[in-house]
Amino acid sequence: MNTHDYRLRILKEGRVPVGEPVTLSLRGPLQRGVEALHWRSFINGNGALGESIRLSPRWSERGAPLVDAVAVEAGASALALPAKTLFARAARIETARLVDAGVLESGAGYGFVVTADASADFQTIPVFHLHDYPVTDADQPVGGTEADSAFADSRDHAVFIDPLVVDDALRLADEAGDSETGGVLFGILQRDPAGKVFLRVTHLCPAVGGKGERSSFTFTPQTWSIAQDVLSARAAEEMMVGSFHTHPDFCKNCEPERQKVCSMRQPFFSDEDVSLHESVFPAAYSVGLLASHDGGGYATSLWGWRDGFISRRSYLTNL
Amino acid sequence: MVINNDTITITARDVTGQRRTSCEIPRNASVNELIDRVGDRMNLLGEDADGRPIAWYARHEREGRSLHRSERVGDALAENDEIRLQPEISAGARGF
pLDDT tens, A73-127? 887 788 999 999 999 888 988 998 999 999 888 877 789 999 999 876 666 655 5
Residue A124: predicted pLDDT: 62
pLDDT at position A48 over 90? no
Residue percentage of chain A with pLDDT more than 90: 61
CA A18 to CA A97: how far, in whole Å?
A: 12
Q: A203: closest CA among A172, A231, A174?
A: A231
Cβ of residue A263 closer than 8 Å to a chain B Cβ: no
pLDDT digits (tens, 9 = 90+) for A161-177: 999 999 999 999 999 99
Alpha-carbon distance of B91 to A217, in angstroms, equals: 5
| Cβ(A59)–Cβ(A71) below 8 Å | no
Average pLDDT for A134-149: 93
Tell me if residue A41 falls in helix, strand or coil.
helix
- Band of the pLDDT at A131, cuts 50, 70, 90? low
- Report the distance separating Cα A288 and Cα A44, nearest Å: 23
Q: What is the pLDDT of residue A46?
A: 76
Measured between alpha carbons, how far is A256 from A239 in angstroms, rounded to an integer?
43
The SS3 call for residue A295 is coil
Q: Which residue type, as a one-letter code, is found at position A223?
A: T
Question: What pLDDT does A271 receive?
Answer: 87
Is the pLDDT reported for residue B95 higher than 80?
no
Q: Which residues of B touch A97 (CB under 8 A)?
A: 51
Which residue(s) pair with A116 in the sheet? Answer: A6
Q: Using CA atoms, how far apart are residues B91 and B17, in angstroms rounded to an integer?
A: 21
Bridge partners (DSSP) of residue A221 are: none
pLDDT at A261: 75
Residue A109, classified by CB atoms within 10 Å of its CB into exposed (0-12), middle (13-18) or buried (19+), is exposed
Would you place residue B73 in the very low, low, confident or very high pLDDT band (cuts 50, 70, 90)?
very high
Q: How many residue pairs from chains A and B have C-beta atoms closer than 8 A?
A: 129
Cβ within 8 Å of residue A102, ≥6 positions away: none
Q: Closest CB to A279: pick one of B45, B50, B84.
A: B45
pTM: 0.91
CB A91 within 8 A of CB A8: yes
Tell me whether residues B90 and A219 touch, CB distance under 8 A.
yes
CA atoms of A67 and A154, how far apart (whole Å): 27
**Is B45 close to A240, i.e. CB distance below 8 A?**
no
- Considering only the beta carbons, identify the residue of B45, B84, B94 that sits closest to A215: B94
Burial A32-69 (b: 16+ CB within 10 A, else e): bbbbbbbbbbbbeeeeebeeebebbbeebeeeebbbbb
CB A243 within 8 A of CB A282: no
**E strand or H helix at A37:** helix A27-43
CA distance A72 to A39: 14
Residues A316 and A143: their CA atoms lie apart, in Å, by 7
**What are the backbone dihedrals phi and psi of residue A261, each rounded to the nearest 5 degrees, phi first?**
-110, 0
Residue A122's pLDDT is 61
Residues of A in contact with B19 (CB under 8 A): 128, 130-131, 282
Strand A197-206 vs strand A182-191: parallel, antiparallel, or unpaired? antiparallel
Q: What is the pLDDT of residue A132?
A: 76
Q: What is the pLDDT of residues B3-13, one digit of tens each?
A: 567 999 999 99
Mean per-residue pLDDT of chain A: 89
Q: What distance lies between CA A296 and its chain's CA centroid?
A: 27
Residue A47 has pLDDT above 80, yes or no: no
- How far is the C-alpha of A89 from the C-alpha of A97, rounded, in Å? 12
Q: What is the pLDDT of residue A62?
A: 93
Q: How far apart are CA A308 and CA A316, in angstroms?
A: 22
Q: Which of 210-229 (A) contact B at CB < 8 A?
A: 213-221, 224-225, 228
Rounded Cα distance between B12 and B5, Å, is 20
**pLDDT in the model for residue A110:** 87
What is the 3-state composition of chain B as percent helix, strand, coil, each rounded to the nearest 5? 15, 40, 45
CB contact under 8 A, A272 and B49: yes
Q: Are A225 and B59 in contact (CB under 8 A)?
A: yes
d(CA A282, CA A42): 16
Shortest Cα distance from A315 to chain B (angstroms)?
A: 21
Q: What is the DSSP letter of A308?
A: T
What is the Cα–Cα distance from A178 to A215, expressed in whole angstroms? 9
Does the pLDDT value for residue A44 go beyond 90? no
Quick one: pLDDT at residue B41? 87
pLDDT digit string, tens, across residues A174-201: 999 999 999 999 999 999 999 999 999 9
Task: Report how far Cα B84 is from the mean position of its chain's Cα atoms.
Answer: 6
Q: What angle do CA A157, A159, A163 make, to 5 degrees?
A: 170
pLDDT digits (tens, 9 = 90+) for A212-265: 998 899 999 999 999 999 999 998 899 999 999 999 988 777 777 877 777 777
Residue A204 to residue A44: CA distance in whole angstroms: 29
Backbone angles phi, psi at A141, to 5 degrees: -65, 155
What confidence tens digit (pLDDT) does each residue in B12-69 have? Answer: 999 999 888 999 999 999 999 999 999 988 888 888 777 788 999 999 999 999 999 9
pLDDT at B2 over 60: no
